[in-house]
Amino acid sequence: MSGVTDTVFRRFIKRLGGCGLIMTEFTSADGVLRNERAQGRYLHFYEDEHPISAQLFGSNPSVLADAARLVEDLGFDLVDLNLGCPAKKVVKCNGGSGLLRDLPLIRQIFEAVRAAVKIPFTVKFRAGWNDDEIVCVELARLAESCGLNAVALHARTREQGYSGHARWEWIASVKQAVKIPVIGNGDIRSPEDACAIVAQTGCDAVMIGRMAPANPWIFRQIEQYVSRVGTGDLARPTERSSAEKMYDEPTEADRYKMIRTYFQMLLEEGMPGAEGKMKQFASWFTHGVPAGAALRKTIYDAKSGSEILGRVDEFFEEKLAAQTS
């Protein structure tokens, strides 16, 4: 996700455990070829991030092919093409979901990138431009015929953006249409949702986007849920007793450690605009924290990264002390 899945956040998620594959924020193919600084910002990763995929967007087959070669040369394990972003500034440049109305051009891109690299090549796309232009099955078959290794479907249209509900039945239709792995995405907010989408669609894996910053433990929770429930019971999560603990919920101490660890990592990395990033993530990380609004206000009012850390320490140390008194 743009502005979220930077190097620091990816490494942070990796430390928490449970995530099998991480992906860069979606990156302009033209931008990284023209600008070395863009390469350093968007295509930098550490060895402990493997396996890692670089996600590119653009509409020029030769440019995307060259960018894919760069990705391979940099040591990424996979390259992914983004045909899902609904943002107007991306769509107006014929990137992201803006390409969904031009399947012949998508074929050219698939063929050019596939011929350019040996690493696995995947694509993420939406179901179509709108409800009258659903192309997900045709697009998945096209990807398979062009030698792509997997497809990921966000089961909404471009017109929907992030509103309404994801139509998981579209994922099921794609799964029935192709033999390559299908990854399901959309409205996966809990381990129960992750297991339900697999059970209902037959998809081979799930992709988590917006829930990752809201609940960074979700990958580990899914892993715990699957191991404790057993794959044979995934279709019936509600039949179990609500008192039976299927995955670990974060404690106040866990939340404190999580927030402080991520903020400290931002400062240690020397990321430009670290204070702004801390304030951005505060709204997600304090979700579910009692009196979280007060913590957010103190973070927003702080003038430096060290001041933000101090206010986080003060807030949680008072809460934890009250619990033990």
What single-letter amino acid sits at 200?
Answer: Q
The answer to whether the CB of 113 falls within 8 A of the CB of 64 is yes
Token pair recorded at residue 269: 């990395």
C-alpha 214, offset from chain centre:
12
Residue 187, helix vs strand vs coil: coil
Residue 146 appears among annotated catalytic residues: no
Strand pairing class (205-207; 27-28): unpaired
- Where do the H-state alpha helices sit in 117-247? 136-145, 168-177, 191-201, 211-214, 218-229
- DSSP labels, 304-317: SHHHHHHHHHHHHH
How does DSSP classify residue 50? -
Determine phi and psi for 236, rounding to 5 degrees. -130, 50
Catalytic residue among 19, 85, 146, 203: 85
User: What SS3 state is found at 209?
Assistant: coil
Distance CA 307, CA 305 (A): 5
Give the single-character DSSP code of 100.
G
Q: Which residues are catalytic?
A: 85
